[in-house]
Amino acid sequence: MKRSRPAFTLIELLVVVGILALLVGILLPPLGAVRRSAKRLVCAVNMRTVASEFESFVDGTHPLGRGDSEALGPGRFRINDFQESLYRIDEFWDQGEQKTAALRADRDPMLCPGGARTLTKRKDFPCGRQALGPAGDVSLALNMRLHQGVLDFRGKHVLAPVARSFVSSRILNHPSVPLVLDVDGQAMETRGADPFYIAPPTSDPQDPFSSGRFWCQSTRHGRTVNVGFVGGQVLSSDHPETENWNWAYQAEVR
């Protein structure tokens, strides 16, 4: 006589599938939270690296020098030269005769692991859309108030030209000045703003930043924004523009 083999009935299979689906539904949210926390941590480490490089750039001990800012003399520099040193572009180009190179989130501190995984950099261009792209994939930006100062032009406050703006080494005495933070590059492009620099709006209608055009922070880390400071600390906030940080510090104008 043939002996019948034990087998699952259709109902038993459906029960097993249902249990597996339930377990997956229970486990996925915690796993997603762990991944977000890991990316937030790596982003914070990257920002600390940026702050460390900033200190050596300002005090003149950076191994790559200060690029075009050397022409300003000791104790002065332009923040765009520092940004170029971070990306290793323009006068800091590190790829020899190669015309383009890929920046990757797993090795370059100016790419947040929660944002785009790569950017392409191009030789012989200063920091901007021609040097780095796609610009909408830029994930970290420097404080725009350190990039362009504000001056009074015929009774109206306007952004000073980059060529007339500079930062003094005295900034190291102000550790609570925000230096780098998460940016939404695509939103900045939609507004026609440069995604490499960011600054929150102010309540002063005379201030060039009051419109909020230059404020498109990214809340990719669980609805919070990572902010790295001149003093080296990194903090997270869901409303960084309202925090009691030194947002007022700005580039000097000559």
Q: Is residue 5 part of a domain?
A: no
In a domain, 245, yes or no: yes
- Distance from C-alpha of 76 to C-alpha of 23, rounded to nearest angstrom: 59
Averaged confidence pLDDT in the chain: 90
Report for 12-16, 37-41, 52-56: range of highest mean pLDDT: 52-56
Average pLDDT rounded to a whole number, residues 97-123: 93
Residue 29 has a pLDDT of 64
Whole-prediction pTM value? 0.85
Tell me, yes or no, whether 59 lies in a domain: yes
In a domain, 8, yes or no: no
Q: Which domain holds residue 71?
A: 13-253
For residues 1 and 16, give the distance between their C-alpha atoms in angstroms, rounded to a whole number.
32
- pLDDT at residue 2 is higher than 60: no
Give the number of domains in the chain: 1
What's the mean pLDDT in 132-143? 95
Helix (H) or strand (E) holding 100, with range, is strand 100-104
pLDDT at 131 over 80: yes
Domain-located, residue 2: no
Query: What pLDDT score was predicted for residue 28?
Result: 60
- In a domain? residue 3: no
Best-predicted range by mean pLDDT (24-28, 29-33, 205-209) = 205-209
Q: Position 143: which residue type? A: N
